[in-house]
Chains A and B, each alone.
Chain A
C-alpha cells in the first residue's frame, strides 16, 4: 500500500515537472514567434520604404533629366524599327586561303564577317 503511494507521489512530481517544462518551452517558443513577427514587420516596413525610394529614383522624369544631361541619346523614330523577316541572313564565313596566309589575314580584317557588318537594309519608301 505504501509502495503504491510512493509510486503515485513520484508520478505526480514527474508530471508536474513535465508540465512545467512544456510550459517553459511554450513560453520560449511564443516569445520567439513574437520576436520573429516583429522582425518580419520591421523587414516589411524597411522593404516598403526601400521600394518607395527605388521608385522615386526610377521616376521617368528623373531618368529623362539624367539622360538629357549625361547621354547623347535621341528619341527613337519609326524607321528604326524593323521586323524579324527583314533581318539579313548571317553572312557565310569565308574559308581562309591556306596557300596565301597573309592575303587571307588582310581579307579577314576587311571582311564583313569579322566586324559583323550589316548589309544595307532593303530600300523602303517611308511615305
Chain B
C-alpha cells in the first residue's frame, strides 16, 4: 500500500540504457516504467522507519517504567486483601466515632484442593463448634473453586485454624463495619450488610454519594477516606434516648420517639425512636415494630398543629392577639361534633385559644381563612409533601383526597392529616426561628448556609408572637410541666386519638409535645412523642400529653440544655409582658 503510494508520487523514468531483452524481462516481472533501484531504496527507508518507531516505543515505555517505579511492590493487591470494601468513618459533631471499620479475617476454602473433606470438617468444627457439621461437609466436598466457611472470625480462631494446617483452607482479611455505640444511634446511621453495603440510614445515603461506584471500581479498599461528620451529638442523643426508654417503660407506651432540632440551622442534633435496634445486629432492624417513627411513621399530630393554625391566622393579617372566638357551644358538622377538651364555655381571645388548646377556636380560625388558604399555608409549611432528607426512610403525608370544609376544620386542630413527625418539627421550627422554613439535615450545616437554603413562610412579627404564645402555654397553659426553671421553655402539647378501623378510639392516644428552648431567642425545638401511653397513679388517671409527654420533655430539657450550651437565666419577665411588648413593636 505504502509502496504503491511512493511509486505514485514519483513516476519512474525509463532507464537510460539497457538491452531490450532485459527490459522485456523487467516489464514482464515488475511492470513497465518501474525503477527497481528507487523502489528498493524506498523499501529500505520504510523498514528503517518501522524499526525506529519500534525502538521509540520501547524507549518511551522504559522511560515510563522509570518514572512510575514507585509502584514497585506497593500496589500488590494480594489475595489476602480486603473483599468487603472500606467505608468512611461516621463521626458525631464532637468527633466521637459512631461507625468505623475494623479488619477481621474471614475463613474460606477451595474445595477442589481439599484432599479429605471429612477430616477437614472434623478439624474445623473442633476449633469452631458453632459451625454446622453437615453444611460444612457439603461445602468442602463440592467441586467449586471457592466457598466461604465463616465470615469474621476472631484472631485466636485464625491462629488455631492456621495451626491445623489443612490444605485448601485460607483466610481473607475483610473490613468489618462496627458501631461502637450500639443501639444509641441506630435509626440515624442505619446499618450495612455483610458485604459492607449501606442498607439503611446515613450508611445508605453514603452509598448514593458515589461510594458505591468507588466500590464497584475497586478503589475503596483502604481506609484513606474522609470521615463523615453528622450533626448529631452523641451525648444529647444518649440523654434523649435514655429518657425515652424510661418514659416508655413508665407509661407502658407502645413506642416513644424524640427529636432535637436546631431551628437556626435545620440540623437534627438528636433523634431517637424507641424501640430501636443494634446496628451491629442488622437482623433486629427487620422487625416492623422497630421502624423510625420520626421519618417513616405518619401520625395525626393533634393539638400541636394548632400552632400552624394560629400562625396562619395571625400571618393573614385578619386576626390579632385580641381577636375573639366564641367557644360557648360545640360546632356541628354532620356527624362530627367539635368540642373542647379543656372546655371553658365562654368567648376566648387568641392567646386563650392557644393555652386552653381550644378546638373550637382553631376551627373558627381555619374556617375564616378558607379551604384554599388553609391548604396553601400548609403546603408552604411543607406539611403536604414528602420530606426528603439524607435518610432514605420517608413517606408521603396522608392528605385527604377531597378536602372539604370539615377537613379544614379538623386539620386545624391536628386530626385528619397524617405527617411524618420530623416534618411537623420542621414547620414548628419555621414558626419559631423568625419565619424561615429550613429543610432538616443530618449533616453539619452552618447558619449562613441554612439561611441561604431557607424560604420565608411567615412574617418575623408573626414568629415573635408565636414564640411568646408558646412561652405563655408553658407558663399557664397545658404545658406547665415542661417549664424547667431558668431555660424559658415554651411548649405546645398535642393529644390525638388514634384511628382504628376507621373510627377514632378514645382510649388509644398519641401524645406529643413541641418544646422550644429558649422561647425568647429559640435555638432548639424538642419533640417528644408517646404512642399509646397509659395512665398511671402518678398522672391521676390521665393519659393526655400534659401528663406524660410534657414531663418527659422537661426531663430531657434539663439534661440536654447544659450539653447544648444553653445558659440558665432567671431574670426574664413572664410571657404576657413580652407579648405586649412585641405586639406594640409590630404596630
Contact = CB atoms under 8 A, between A and B. Distances in A.
A52 B242 contact: no
Interface in B196-239: 222-223, 234-235, 238-239
A56 B180 contact: yes
Interface residues of A, number: 33
Contacts of A31: 73
Interface stretch (B364-372, B387-395, B480-488): B480-488
Interface stretch (A9-17, A71-79, A91-99, A107-115): A71-79
A40 to B, nearest CB: 10
Interface in B356-399: none
A41 B221 CA distance: 12
Nearest to B571: A124
B250 interface: no
A75 B559 contact: yes
A52 B74 contact: no
Contacts of B178: 52
B238 A51 contact: no
A55 B486 contact: no
Interface residues of B, number: 34
B567 A44 contact: no
A53 interface: yes
Nearest to A50: B102
A53 B239 CA distance: 22
A48 B184 contact: no
Given A26-B69, A44-B223, A78-B484, A59 B180 contact: yes
A116 interface: no
Contact of A64 (B103, B238, B567, B570): B238
Nearest to A63: B238
A126 B486 contact: yes
Contact of A49 (B102, B184, B234): B102
Interface string B418-436: 0000000000000000000
Contact of B558 (A37, A53, A75): A75
B485 A78 contact: yes
Given A33-B72, A33-B73, 19 more contacts: A26-B69, A41-B222, A45-B102, A49-B102, A51-B100, A52-B178, A55-B96, A55-B181, A58-B96, A59-B181, A59-B182, A59-B184, A61-B181, A78-B486, A78-B568, A81-B486, A81-B567, A127-B485, A127-B570
19 contacts: A34-B76, A45-B223, A48-B100, A48-B223, A49-B102, A52-B100, A52-B180, A53-B180, A55-B100, A58-B96, A59-B181, A60-B181, A61-B184, A64-B238, A78-B487, A78-B561, A83-B567, A125-B570, A126-B570
